[in-house]
Amino acid sequence: MHNLGQTRSSHQRHHLLLTPDTFVRTTLPGMKNASAIVHIGPALGAAFTEYTAEFEPQGELGTTVAQRFVYVIEGAVTLETKDKRHDLGARGYAYLSEGFSHRVVAKEKSRVAVIEKPYERLGKSEMKHLLIQSEDAVPSHGLDGDSDLQVKCLLPDDPRFDFAMNTMVYQPGAALSMVEMHVMEHGLLMLEGGGIYRLGDSWYAVTAGDFIWMGPWCPQWFGAIGKAPAKYLIYKDCNRHPLAGTPPAGTPR
């Protein structure tokens, strides 16, 4: 049945909901046997880009000059660095600081969430880091003491990191305890289940496979609905002064 131009996707000034029926695949420089669904990037005002890479067996990501975070949604990939090969299965992830030479090659048909962000340096501190981990090995904690809403912080609590990647799992009926409005922006991939997301002044039904971008101060709230838990992977910038990266007053833009 034709959808007669209907979709849950919505493009607003301070938020974006993208549902799989509106995904358009493209290829990014250097990608082999793979395609990218670009969810968000600087073209809409975000300070990062997030895409889902879909690989055929032996498919490969291109290179990046930015920091890169990869999270295996489905399948298995090998992360090759100068002297080692690391296998990442479903829920495996890696962080590579800028300039860390590597290859990401699929061992089988796979889907991987990729986040790339130009690094915002903190003073004179150096940022050379490689982290390889499985989400399964990361401890979780209840958000604000709510044991029905479990958060895993996938990156270290270290001020040199300028973004955080978390997973959040809501038991059916669990919800954020407040409408959040904050300077940080989010990129969010619904991995399991679903519910209602408030974004700005709209309430959206969301489900596994959807992507959401929330710009700075976008009012946001989520409540999980259904018989199974809802889970998402969420990007959030952190650890930087709000004026960082702003040219001094009087500088022509």
Chain positions contacting Mn ion, by CB under 5 A: 180
Tokens of 16: 């974006």
Which residues are 223's β-sheet partners?
175, 196
Q: What is the Cα–Cα distance from 138 to 153, expressed in whole angstroms? A: 8
Could you say which of 180, 200, 225, 226 contacts ligand UGY (CB under 6 A)?
Answer: 180
Window 217 to 246, contacts with ligand UGY (CB under 6 A): 220, 222, 234, 236
Least CB distance from residue 185 to ligand UGY, whole Å? Answer: 10
What one-letter code names the amino acid at 206? V
Residue closer to Mn ion by CB (options 80, 180) is 180
Least CB distance from residue 209 to ligand UGY, whole Å? Answer: 18
- Dihedral through CA 7, CA 237, CA 235, CA 46, nearest 10? 30
Least CB distance from residue 54 to ligand UGY, whole Å? Answer: 25
Q: What is the Cα–Cα distance from 46 to 26, expressed in whole angstroms? A: 19
Residue closer to Mn ion by CB (options 55, 232) is 232
234 binds, among ligand UGY, Mn ion, none (CB under 5 to 8 A by kind): ligand UGY
Bridge-based pairing state of the strands 67-74 and 92-96: antiparallel
Least CB distance from residue 167 to ligand UGY, whole Å? Answer: 10
Q: What is the Cα–Cα distance from 74 to 112, expressed in whole angstroms? A: 7
Residue closer to Mn ion by CB (options 135, 180) is 180
Is 192 a binding residue for ligand UGY by CB under 6 A? The answer is no
Least CB distance from residue 179 to Mn ion, whole Å? Answer: 10
Angle at 53 between CA 149 and CA 103, to 5 degrees: 110
Tokens of 227: 């018989």
Residue closer to ligand UGY by CB (options 95, 222) is 222
Residue closer to ligand UGY by CB (options 189, 234) is 234
Contact criterion met (CB below 8 Å) for 212 and 236? no
Q: What is the Cα–Cα distance from 138 to 155, expressed in whole angstroms? A: 10
Residue 139-168 contact track with ligand UGY, rule CB under 6 A, x = bound = -----------------------------x
Q: What is the Cα–Cα distance from 204 to 43, expressed in whole angstroms? A: 24
Least CB distance from residue 253 to Mn ion, whole Å? Answer: 28
Q: Report which DSSP code applies to 173.
A: T
Is 186 a binding residue for ligand UGY by CB under 6 A? The answer is yes
**Which residues would be at the binding site for ligand UGY (CB under 6 A)?**
168, 176, 180, 186, 220, 222, 234, 236
